Structure 1
Amino acid sequence: MLRTALRNVLAHKARLLMTALAVMLGVAFVSGTLVFTSTISQAFQKSSEEGFSHVDVALQADRDGYDGLGQPERLSQKLLEDAAKLPGTASVIGEASGFAALADKDDKLVGEGWATTGGNYYVGQNGEDPRYPLKDGRAPQKSGEIALDYKTAERTGYKVGEKVRMSVDGPVRQDKIVGIFNTDDGNVAAGGTLVLFDSKTAQQLFTAPGEYEQIILKTAEGTSQSELRSQVEKILPKDTKAVTGEKLAEDQSEAIATQMSGMQTGLLVFAGIALFVGIFIIANTFTMLVAQRTKELALMRAIGASRRQVTRSVLIEAAVVGTFAAVLGLLAGIGIGAGLRSLMNSLEMTIPDGPLVIGSSAVIASFAVGVLVTMLAAWLPARRAAKIPPVAAMSSIHAAATTRSLVVRNSIGSVLAAGGGALVLAGTGMGMDDAKGIMGIGALLLVVGVFVLTPLLSRPLIAAATPLLRVFGISGKLARQNSVRNPRRTAATASALMIGLTLITGMTVIASSFQEAINKMAADSLKADYTISMANMSPLAPEVGQKLEQDPAITAVSPLRTTQAEVEGKKETVAGVNGGDIEKLLTLNFESGSFDELNGNNVVVDRDMAKKNGWKEGTTLPVTYEDGRSAKLNVTGIYEGNQMIQGVLADTRTIEPHMKQVGDTQVMVKMEGGITEANKTKLEEALGKNPAVLIQDPEDISEGIAMLFTMLLNILYGLLAMAVIVAVLGVVNTLAMSVFERSQEIGMLRAIGLDRRAVKRMVRLESVVIALFGGVMGIGLGVFFGWAVGEVIGSGLSTYALLIPWDRLLIFLALAAVVGVLAAMWPARRAAKLNMLESIKAE
């Protein structure tokens, strides 16, 4: 039986190639994902380990008990001096760091946002900082001097002696480069920037005079990290902790692994989708192969082969095909992993240098997925083959599916579809967190249920295309009849395309609706001409708003300034705005009250918060600010909140005296003449063409969000293209098998006058009908899922409303038809080239 199975594989090379390709694509995606994530994970981990090579013990603020009120505790100069005196300490370094935006020579921001950092050059006992060996120049010694990392200097062309423009929290600084240094910092390796100041300047910018964010200790000879930590713990003040360098490196590695796992999971989901689609093709292929070998298998049964042996022979064929596909998939996956790393580098998403990592997990997963998926998909056809009675050897025709089997199938499909639909509908009435699991299970059941019901649905849906097919005469009529002749095969082929289009359509509907909701929110709630914020969304210095208030071209200014406070014993965010100008800058629907009395201890609160806490206009709220002082706030208005503005709004003059560090989330401005290029240029010049500051009008805000969605959607389209490619292979496979089975019939049609062009047209129309059938079902399910998810989103976003992008859906349907045309090219040519006499003689 083993030899027979192997001969069958070799005898049907062309037929099994499509199946191998389908499996190979799924395996390539899985192995490529694992290779890619392992490669960049190891590169970052090695980079982070090098970054901790100078750390034996680190003293840090213990943020485990930090309640979010005010700024976390920092480390004093006295603690640094006490730690330096410990017998196990060889050297000590105090660190002060934070966001620092550097402009290139074209006044554009250098680095990747969060990785644009600043720190201090700490002068040690030998006059050097061991973390940052100087490559050129000297260390910064006073305000106005900086040192720049080597990679950034190389990328921007800056040299020692040149002045650069930069910003830490809003105002523009002009600093002179006095040194260029090397570093093992992982952020720099990933494409970011690192700017060093002298310690005094760095403390003024990032912490406070005489304070550090972290103190690093190096052990003396003969002292272990754990021994030094034990010594340090005896002098630690409250709310601080000591951590060994080994533990820091381990935590960093775990954090990187966690970040990579999210990306890995997302990519593996799409690999799973491609494999799920591939299962239909594999099952379809083996079903057709078994059907074509009915006589052969029945003869094997007649000469003594048992059912188990027949089943085993089919599964051996599947294992051979799966192994072959797994090997090719692994090789392709290695190429995909290398390609993705190169793509990230070309997009300036730099990752540290390192070798391509082909771990055992990628190899094991490739063979497990390739072989197991193929054998799983072939198991039902194998069982069906084993049930062929020996008497079937007398005839080449085996019994078709019974009415009872179709009734059972339709009943199971109806239950699954109804149950899945009910769960999805139930999820629409829940919150986002609760709905995820229920809607996910419901969506899976509904898709499987529709797949099971597809043979039943194929006849009426394909019949609806009859008027269009009549235009093509006898070719159209034959194409329709061929499409419904074997509904199970048609269903399996169409379902592969259906799944891909369901996902694409659902995400397109959600993205289009969400984008429209954001546009509506910005248009409805924002009267301001421009909003000003930091490029990395860190706090903006209050001097920015104060400077704009003095500009005569600006008619209204308000910062949006947030602080944490306890309101009626609960931690809440209180936002400060300019009570006198806010009505000119925001449009909020008030249920009661207004902005008119927003001054002193008067506040307005959003409707949801008021309802949750039982607050009304006139309610007095006890509040404890972050500095520990208490007061009473009076509710003078209830407004309808949104994603941009919500919670408690107070006057900035009320909350500012209680803030330990004043910073604005953004500043809203209104200008004479409204939104114009000239006004935007005036703002940019007024702020010194600051590389760290982002100036946006309402349209810019919407476009920025739209750009993110468009980028995400394009990535998802690219990933889901894998499933569509697999579906195309399925259509090609089905048509090729169908042409082979109908060789005698096609020969007869040719003999009675159907020319080659008409034969080609018949096969193409059959392919288009099957593809459009899958497209219609996929788009229908996708719109349903898009609506259902939108109902959940709408519960937290008041401006959300279902928007069906009909133009894109028509493009998707047209693409489904194109898929049908392309998939039919080879089978149609093969059918047209069949020899009439040989085909008529074929069994």
Structure 2
Amino acid sequence: MFRTALRNVLAHKARLLMTVLAVMLGVAFVSGTLVFTSTISDAYQASSQKGYDNVDVAVQQRSSDSPSGAPGGDSKPKLDQKLLDKAAQVPGAASATGTVSGFTAIADKKGELLGNGFSTTGGNYFAGKDGKDARYPMRSGAAPKGPHEFALDAHTADKAGYKVGDTVRLSVDGPVREQKLTGIFTTDDGTVAAGGSLALFDTPTAQKLFAMPGGFSEIDVKAAPGTSQNALKSEIDKVLPKDAAEATTGKQLADDQAKMIAKKMDGMKTGLLVFAGIALFVGVFIIANTFTMLVAQRTKELALLRAVGASRRQVTRSVLIEATVVGAIAAVTGMAAGIGIGAGLRALMNSTGATVPDGPLVVSPSTVLISLLVGIVITVLAAWLPGRRAAKIPPVAAMNSVHATATTKSLVVRNTIGALFAGAGAAGVLVATGMSDGKAVMGGGAFLLLIGVFILTPLLSRPLIALAAPVLRAFGISGGLARQNAVRNPRRTAATASALMVGLTLITGLTVIAGSVQKGIDKMATESLTADYVVSMANSLPLSPDVAKKLDGLDEVTAVSPLRMSPSRIDGTPQSLTGVNGKDFGKLTKLDFTKGGLGDLQGGRVVVDDATAKEKGWQPGSRFPVTFEDGKKGTLTVSGVYQGNQMIHGIIVDNATLAPHQKQVTDRQVMVNTKDGTSDAAKESLVKGLGKNPALAVSDKKDISESISQAFSLMLNMLYGLLAMAVIVAVLGVINTLAMSVFERSQEIGMLRAIGLDRRGIKRMVRLESLVISLFGGVLGIGLGVFFGWAAGELISGSLATYELVLPWGRIGLFLGLAALVGVLAALWPARRAARLNMLAAIKAE
């Protein structure tokens, strides 16, 4: 039986090729995902560990304490020069380095920001006794000295074209600074290796810039030869101030960093593997379909084996051996292709600017094992049911082909199960739309509904394909035959259409959700914000109040309101207060008041969002006590209740009331109106007025909407690319089905040729059959996708009040056209093969 199974594999190479391709694509996706995430994770971990090569023990401020110099912190730093000297003198210490770090935006020669947000950092050059910092060897120039000098990492300097002696524009907290570039250094810093930038100042300058006068953010101690990290840590613990600082070994820091990177990569890995699973799920339909038809075509052969003594178990085992061989071939080729995909994804990340640290391509033993198991197990599972069904057919019945038609009982059972699954799934989705957190329920319901529709697809195929009859009649005999062929074997048609249905369901659903969220974001930005521009830090950190003062002094600016946050306590519970310029706030926003109004937002008068008002039981005129950030108490009066959203919410108070109680005044953003409204000239004027500051972002409403929705757009484009895999697998399924259908109908096609249907008519018949099957799957997929998109939108609307369902008719039409194109392309080879059949040989074929 084993030799028979191998002969069957070799005898049906062309038919099994499509199955191999389907499995291979899914396995390639899985192995590519594992290779890519392992490679990136290892590269980042190796890069981050290099940063701890000179750190045996790190002294850090306890996380429960506020950072030195930060709001709410002590006026004296916890980690100062005195503690640094103590750490350097403990037994077993070779040297101690004090580090300071923070955000530093570097401008290129055009004045634009180099790098992105948090990847643009600054620190201190800690000169030792020899005047050098071992962490940052100078490639050219000298270390910075004084408040007007700095050094830059070689990667950023080369990218921007800067040389020693150049004057570079940079910013730390808002105001632009011009510093002389005195040195260019090399570094193993992980942020720089990943495409970020690093600027170094002398220690006093860095302490002043990063709000740590006289203090450090960390003290790194190097162990003397022969001293272990743990022994050094024990000695340092003895000199640390109680409850103020803590020591950690360099190995522990590196391990923690590695775990954090691995955790971040787990999310990406999970997301990619989900779509690999979808591709495999779609591939299962093709594999099961292929083996069902292969078994059906060999029914007499299997019956003969049964007649000469083969048992049911041996017949089933023969089919499973075939599946194992096919799965193994597909798994090996898929794994090899996956390694290429992993390397390609890494190169793609580098080409988009997301620089990845250098490192080898990682192909772990687990990746090899998982790839092989996935390919073989999926194929064997998909082939098990056809093999079992073939073994149950009595030999005499098989030889007489009595088995061909499914029994009424089996159809009733199938349709009943499908209806139960679909009903339960639809009910779960509908119930989830009314829940506050129904993600899990909706996900389970969607899965059940998808499975239910798949089971019911043979039942749905006849009435839906019948709708195409009037159109097919226009193609004469070829059209009529195509319709009959499409419904002749509903199970085969259903399995083929379902592969395409799954892909289009996901693509359509995601498109509906993304379009609706984008509409909601646009609506939110348009309705609540009337300011022409919003100025903020490029990394979303607090903004210096000097920026608002500078804007207020520009001739073209007509209204300015800084938006700042301050912690407070109301009724004994923490509550954030939002400070604005009460005089201009009404000109810059358009709040939808449900009770009261904005009025005169000065003194102790405030407006609150509806959620806060409902929680506290406040109405216009309500007075409530508040404890401000500095501990002083006051009383505020509600003048209006408005509908809050993601952009503007909470308790809004005049900055003149809030500022005297703030320990450190910083703005989150600044809203601005100009004389000429929004225009390129107005924006350029603001940028120039702010000194072409690389740390500042000047955005209009369109920019704000795009920045919020950018993540959705990026995710959607990635998902389109990933789901394209499922569509490719679906195309293979259609080709596979048609090719086998042509083989099954060789006698019929030969007879049609003999009675006068020409080759063009045969080709048209096969193409129309493929088109009808593909459109059937497309209609089901788009219908389910719209339903899932609507249901998911009901959940999203709970957190996005301006959410509005948008049906992208243009894209839906494009997806339907894609389904039709799949049908046309998939039919090219089978149609050509059918037309080239020798009519006499086909009529004689069994």
Normalising by the smaller structure, the TM-score range is over 0.9
Amino acid at match of 2:15: R
| Alpha carbons 1:60, 1:75 under 8 Å: kept | no
| Alpha carbons 1:562, 1:575 under 8 Å: kept | yes
**Cα displacement (A) at 1:128:** 1.8
Q: In structure 2, what is the equivalent of residue 21 of structure 1?
A: 21
- Superposed CA RMSD in Å reads 1.6
| Alpha carbons 2:59, 2:220 under 8 Å: kept | yes
**Cα displacement (A) at 1:552:** 2.7
**Cα displacement (A) at 1:565:** 2.3
Q: In structure 1, what is the equivalent of residue 53 of structure 2?
A: 53
- Higher alpha-carbon deviation: 360-369 or 725-734: 360-369
| Alpha carbons 1:565, 1:624 under 8 Å: kept | yes
Amino acid at match of 1:293: R
**Cα displacement (A) at 1:72:** 5.9
Q: In structure 1, what is the equivalent of residue 278 of structure 2?
A: 273
C-alpha spacing 1:420/1:239, structure 2 compared with 1 (3 Å) = farther
Does the alignment pair 1:798 with 2:814?
no
Deviations 1:717-740 (A, max 9, x none): 111000000000000000001000
Does the alignment pair 1:344 with 2:380?
no
Does the alignment pair 1:91 with 2:95?
yes
Does the alignment pair 1:153 with 2:153?
no
Which of residues 506, 516, 520 is equivalent to 2:509?
506
C-alpha spacing 1:57/1:628, structure 2 compared with 1 (3 Å) = farther
Matches for 1:186-585 after TM superposition, within 5 Å: 186-234=190-238, 235-396=240-401, 398-431=403-436, 434-585=437-588
- Higher alpha-carbon deviation: 22-31 or 394-403: 394-403
| Alpha carbons 2:79, 2:219 under 8 Å: kept | no
Residues in 2 aligned to 1:629 and 1:371: alpha-carbon distance in whole angstroms: 70
- Higher alpha-carbon deviation: 70-79 or 712-721: 70-79
**Cα displacement (A) at 1:65:** 7.0
| Alpha carbons 2:299, 2:399 under 8 Å: kept | no
**Cα displacement (A) at 1:393:** 5.0
Q: In structure 2, what is the equivalent of residue 164 of structure 1?
A: 168
Amino acid at match of 2:698: I
C-alpha spacing 1:626/1:81, structure 2 compared with 1 (3 Å) = farther
Deviations 1:239-273 (A, max 9, x none): 43211111100000001101111111111111000
Residues in 2 aligned to 1:518 and 1:576: alpha-carbon distance in whole angstroms: 24
Which of residues 110, 116, 119 is equivalent to 1:106?
110
- Higher alpha-carbon deviation: 623-632 or 492-501: 623-632
Q: In structure 2, what is the equivalent of residue 821 of structure 1?
A: 824
- Higher alpha-carbon deviation: 816-825 or 593-602: 593-602
| Alpha carbons 1:296, 1:393 under 8 Å: kept | no
| Alpha carbons 1:75, 1:214 under 8 Å: kept | no
Q: In structure 2, what is the equivalent of residue 185 of structure 1?
A: 189
Q: In structure 1, what is the equivalent of residue 705 of structure 2?
A: 702
Deviations 1:439-461 (A, max 9, x none): 11111000000000000110111
Which of residues 659, 662, 683 is equivalent to 2:662?
659
Amino acid at match of 1:367: L
| Alpha carbons 2:598, 2:640 under 8 Å: kept | yes
| Alpha carbons 2:530, 2:589 under 8 Å: kept | yes
Count of matched residue positions in the alignment of Structure 1 and Structure 2: 841
| Alpha carbons 1:171, 1:690 under 8 Å: kept | yes
Residues in 1 aligned to 2:359 and 2:783: alpha-carbon distance in whole angstroms: 46
**Cα displacement (A) at 1:362:** 1.2
Does the alignment pair 1:720 with 2:723?
yes
Which of residues 678, 687, 691 is equivalent to 2:681?
678
Residues in 2 aligned to 1:723 and 1:382: alpha-carbon distance in whole angstroms: 26
Deviations 1:143-198 (A, max 9, x none): 01000111111211111111101111111110001111111100000011000011
| Alpha carbons 1:61, 1:72 under 8 Å: kept | no
Deviations 1:284-329 (A, max 9, x none): 0000001001100111111111111111010000000000000100
Residues in 1 aligned to 2:182 and 2:767: alpha-carbon distance in whole angstroms: 71
| Alpha carbons 1:599, 1:654 under 8 Å: kept | yes
Residues in 2 aligned to 1:75 and 1:823: alpha-carbon distance in whole angstroms: 70
Q: TM-score, normalised by structure 2?
A: 0.97
Specify the SS of the correspondent of 1:678: helix
Amino acid at match of 2:491: R
C-alpha spacing 1:223/1:601, structure 2 compared with 1 (3 Å) = farther
Deviations 1:524-582 (A, max 9, x none): 11110111111111111110001111223211100111122222222222211111110
Amino acid at match of 1:677: D
**Cα displacement (A) at 1:392:** 2.8
Unaligned runs of 5+ in 2: none
- Higher alpha-carbon deviation: 77-86 or 182-191: 77-86
**Cα displacement (A) at 1:842:** 1.4
Residues in 2 aligned to 1:7 and 1:566: alpha-carbon distance in whole angstroms: 80
- Higher alpha-carbon deviation: 693-702 or 561-570: 561-570
**Cα displacement (A) at 1:396:** 4.4
Residues in 1 aligned to 2:716 and 2:675: alpha-carbon distance in whole angstroms: 38
**Cα displacement (A) at 1:602:** 2.5
| Alpha carbons 1:37, 1:260 under 8 Å: kept | yes
- Higher alpha-carbon deviation: 629-638 or 447-456: 629-638
Which of residues 68, 81, 85 is equivalent to 1:81?
85
Specify the SS of the correspondent of 2:438: helix
Q: In structure 2, what is the equivalent of residue 123 of structure 1?
A: 127
Q: In structure 1, what is the equivalent of residue 775 of structure 2?
A: 772
Specify the SS of the correspondent of 2:114: coil
Deviations 1:426-472 (A, max 9, x none): 111122xx312111111100000000000011011101111111111
Residues in 2 aligned to 1:498 and 1:102: alpha-carbon distance in whole angstroms: 50
Amino acid at match of 2:334: G
- Higher alpha-carbon deviation: 716-725 or 610-619: 610-619
Does the alignment pair 1:650 with 2:653?
yes
- Higher alpha-carbon deviation: 108-117 or 320-329: 108-117
| Alpha carbons 2:101, 2:122 under 8 Å: kept | yes
C-alpha spacing 1:765/1:448, structure 2 compared with 1 (3 Å) = same
Amino acid at match of 1:173: R
Specify the SS of the correspondent of 2:579: strand
Amino acid at match of 1:63: S
Specify the SS of the correspondent of 2:309: coil
| Alpha carbons 1:542, 1:662 under 8 Å: kept | yes
Q: TM-score, normalised by structure 1?
A: 0.98
**Cα displacement (A) at 1:643:** 1.0
**Cα displacement (A) at 1:71:** 5.1
**Cα displacement (A) at 1:111:** 1.5
Q: In structure 2, what is the equivalent of residue 32 of structure 1?
A: 32
Deviations 1:599-625 (A, max 9, x none): 223222110111123222233333333
Unaligned runs of 5+ in 1: none
- Higher alpha-carbon deviation: 790-799 or 213-222: 213-222
- Higher alpha-carbon deviation: 127-136 or 15-24: 127-136
Residues in 2 aligned to 1:493 and 1:72: alpha-carbon distance in whole angstroms: 66
Matches for 1:555-634 after TM superposition, within 5 Å: 555-634=558-637
Specify the SS of the correspondent of 2:359: coil
C-alpha spacing 1:258/1:20, structure 2 compared with 1 (3 Å) = same
Specify the SS of the correspondent of 1:212: coil
Does the alignment pair 1:752 with 2:755?
yes
Residues in 1 aligned to 2:624 and 2:123: alpha-carbon distance in whole angstroms: 42
Amino acid at match of 1:400: T
Residues in 2 aligned to 1:111 and 1:237: alpha-carbon distance in whole angstroms: 40
Amino acid at match of 1:184: D
**Cα displacement (A) at 1:226:** 1.8
Percent of aligned positions with the same letter in both sequences? 64
